[in-house]
Amino acid sequence: MFCDEALDTVEAIAGGELLPDGRVAAHLASCPNCALALQRARQLEASLQRREAPAAPAQFTSRTLAKIRRARWRSDQFLDLGFNVAILLVVASVLGGVWMLLHRTGLTAVSGDAVNVFGSGFVSLARRVAPSLPLYAGALALLVSALGIWWWAERDAAL
């Protein structure tokens, strides 16, 4: 066994978190440098155990949790932005691919009539859907307000 392997475990052994196995115990018994390092680590651990821990400042927990929430929120915002940019790039690539496909196959030459057909179809669809739009808008408003109330109630419960 090499000293660097034993020295990696000295702090854990001194703190009582780890018991030395056969190889490490044999090396600590035979190597004076590693034995001295273990002795110093045990002395340091003992002096730290004798020392009193300072009292936490007022509102330490709430301030720390607020900082953690802000950091998590920033991280989530960064992740959301990256996801949105990736989706935008994918959509732009698909649209660019469709346009290139239409342009290369010559379908753009007949696209004037195709646009007119799709346009008239869209207008007739819009005329059929228009009477039910207020109902869907009301349902959407109800859903958004219910989700907002739910979020508000959960936010207060988490605090």
Give residue 140's pLDDT. 96
Read off the pLDDT of residues 98-143 as tens digits, 9 standing for 90 and up: 888 877 877 666 666 777 777 888 889 889 989 999 999 999 999 9
Mean pLDDT of the region 153-159: 69
pTM passes above 0.85: no
Q: How many other C-beta atoms can be found within 10 angstroms of the C-beta atom of residue 29?
A: 11
H-helix or E-strand containing 45? helix 32-50
d(CA 7, CA 24): 9
Contact by Cβ (8 Å): 5, 25:
no
pLDDT of residue 13: 84
In which band, very low, low, confident or very high, does the pLDDT at 27 lie, cut at 50, 70 and 90? confident
Tens-place pLDDT, residues 48-102: 888 888 888 888 989 999 999 999 888 889 889 999 999 999 999 999 998 888 7
